[in-house]
Amino acid sequence: MQEIPEETREMQEEPEDPKRDWADRVREIGGLVAVIAGLLAITGIAIAALVAGTQTAATVAGSAIAVVGSVVGAYLGVKIGTDQTKKAIQGQQIEAAKAQVYASHMSEQQAASANATATKTVEAIRAAR
């Protein structure tokens, strides 16, 4: 049987591409920009309510703050979920690549046995759902 090369055994996540496009760089700071914009909007609304000094202004300000807070919170929730999904998919791709490399270094008999075990495992996982 062939020896697995050291660089294959120690396969790790590739470093990020330094030539990422502009949109990816903007997405990274999008959450911070959303929070800052939300805080500025809330501050502006609160100041306007204080200047007006009426009960109606306070009611409108409270409602507006709730809406802005909800929108910013929803945006951040979606962003965090999307980022976690992206990381999970990248992790699956890395593990699939490792499995393919390991499989390419197996004998035919070992590959057949590993394939049978993998098929049983997948069936068990599907049955458990």
Q: What is the pLDDT of residues 41-70, one digit of tens each?
A: 888 887 887 787 778 777 877 888 888 888
In this prediction, residue 12 carries a pLDDT of 47
Long-range contacts of 110-116 (CB under 8 A, 24+ apart): 110/1
Say which residues have a Cβ less than 8 Å from residue 11's Cβ, sequence separation at least 6: 94, 97, 98, 101
| pTM (predicted TM-score) | 0.46
Cα separation, 69 vs 67, whole angstroms: 5
Cα separation, 70 vs 52, whole angstroms: 24
Which residue positions in the chain have pLDDT lower than 50? 1-2, 8-9, 11-13
In this prediction, residue 1 carries a pLDDT of 47
Residues in the chain: 129
- Cβ distance 61 to 46 under 8 Å? yes
- Cβ distance 98 to 12 under 8 Å? no
